[in-house]
Amino acid sequence: MPHQVDDSSTDAELARHFAASASTSLPRAPLYAALSAGISRDPGLFGLLRYAPPTQRLPVLLFACVHDLLLEDPHQELAQWYANLTPTARLATDRALMPTFKRFVAAHEQALRHLLSTRTTQTNEVGRCALFLPAFGLLADEVGPLGHLDVGASGGLNLLLDRYEYHFESPDGDVTTVGGPSSVTLHAATTGPVPVPASMPVIATRCGIDQHPIDVTDVSEAHWLEACVWPDQPDRFHRLVAAIEIARAAPPELLAGDAVTSLAPAIERIGANAHPVVTNSWVLNYLTSNDRVAYLAELDRIGAQRDLSWVYAEAPALIPELPNGPDPVDPHRTVLSMARWRDGERTVAHLATCHPHGFWMHWR
């Protein structure tokens, strides 16, 4: 049964979340920016977040719930503003947007309450595979076949790194292609000496961990994953849909569990014939400070017993407990780092500064 409304969040807090979203969403998501601004002034709308668990009371959850309902029925009037659902999307500045949104919410309030109380935001940004690939190439040259373990794997799409096609573009316009042909093509602009691999690294085994794994073979679960992508970014949406189709043909193994206690058993599943490579991207900011410390301690414990590598793309400003590169001015800037445990000793290299969705990287 859905949770009952919880009044522990004040109107001021909820309104502030949406007001902040209106500012931060604007550069790449004008639709959600406009909706956030309107919702921040309407207690009847922002108050819906009280049906969500306290840790999930963020604008992106409400927007994902609305998007999920539109994916089920894209003929709704509100879908006219969703660029991933129509090639002629109406502008976010259209004055009819907020009245249409309010009518949609009123007509679907029961369904929204249920989704808000039972769903959590889930992202599976396959663009981050373009950040991981150069690091995987370096490791494959060093140790041979790799065993990929993705922590916070969601639907496991980043575990299919070797099934996508990559285009790395240098500042002078030269493009280096790796992998493919594939229905998923990832483009990354590069600066600095990015070690683009000459061929796709061999990934011998793969496994993912997530507290709530997404079964992409289930249509409703796949829709939820798609709903969490911002509709103003149809390129990301359509490549996610393509990646889900690839995953459905041969779903990767996913384990339900937390990042700390499930780590060692998952690495055991990688086996002894592949070098284990743990990855995570924009996951650790969702852990508590104590859990982040415990995560690193568990990696250190395992690394003392066997050679291990860890490639992570995270925002240093949000995870101060872990080995990070220089803290960028932009708190949303991502740093790609690699930790190696060899003969029980840990070394850390900060490889690149990146876009959080893998659109560009500056190799150090």
Indicate the domain borders of the chain: 11-118, 126-215+251-363
How do residues 171-218 score in pLDDT, each as one tens digit? 999 999 999 999 999 999 999 999 999 999 999 999 999 998 999 999
What pLDDT does residue 94 have? 96
What pLDDT does residue 216 have? 94
d(CA 335, CA 186): 19
Confidence of residue 143 (pLDDT cuts 50, 70, 90): very high
**Mean pLDDT for the chain?**
93
CB 323 within 8 A of CB 348: yes
CB atoms within 10 A of CB 266: 23
Q: What is the pTM of this model?
A: 0.88
How do residues 48-64 score in pLDDT, each as one tens digit? 999 999 888 999 999 99
Give mean pLDDT, residues 337-343. Answer: 97
- Please give the CATH topology (third level) of the domain spanning 126-215+251-363: Rossmann fold (3.40.50)
